[in-house]
Amino acid sequence: MSDRTVVWEGRFLTAVTEGPWEYAERKRDIGAAVIVAVDADRHLLLVEQYRIPVGKVCLELPAGLVGDDSEGEAVTDAARRELEEETGYHAASVEEYGEFYSSPGMTSERFTIVVATGLTRIGDGGGEENEDITVRRVPLDDAPAFIAERRRGGLGIDAKLLLILGSGLLADL
């Protein structure tokens, strides 16, 4: 028998205690798609947006929840939808790279890295009206220096950027 107790429940998250652990879990086992989008000119698409939990603008890969509005949504469909919404680019090809956990000691949140190619600009991006997203199109070879520069400038850097830099994924694109 589990000693799991729900402390608080919101639209997308549930705060739980279980034994000595306190953690947050995604409701309905919702995952996320994190998009490594590279255009034909070998530019990586990144986004900057203010994140309330950390109190600063963060540099991130485009991303979004899978199935938050429609259950059963495929990761690749969510990735295409979020890429268009956040960056204004449509991807002809979206391939799954693997599933990862963001902070398994604190949350059940999981995400799938996808690689999006065959990009066509179809709009301005910027996200939904409450997101205020700035799109950055960075030459792939300059990505590590660009990320370091933005960090020195005071932006929060999403750790998923370290994952793609350290994995060798960008070198394969």
Q: How many Cα atoms are found within 13 Å in the side-chain-facing hemisphere of 134?
A: 10
* pLDDT tier, 172 (very low <50, low <70, confident <90, very high otherwise): confident
Told to judge if 109 belongs to the known catalytic residues of this protein, a careful annotator would answer no
* pLDDT tier, 115 (very low <50, low <70, confident <90, very high otherwise): very high
Instruction: Write the pLDDT tens digit of every residue in 36-91.
Output: 999 999 999 999 999 999 999 999 999 999 987 777 899 999 999 999 999 999 99
Q: Which of 106, 110, 97 is nearest to 29 (CA)?
A: 110
Tokens found for residue 168? 């060798």
- Catalytic residue (choose from 9, 95, 128, 129): 129
Tokens found for residue 11? 């639209």
Exposed, middle or buried: residue 87 (CB in 10 Å: 0-12, 13-18, 19+)? Answer: buried
Write the class of the CATH domain 31-172.
alpha beta
In Å, how far are 35, 71, 79, 88 from 68, measured between CA atoms?
17, 7, 12, 20
- The answer to whether 27 touches 13, Cβ cutoff 8 Å, is yes
- Mean predicted lDDT score pLDDT of the chain: 92
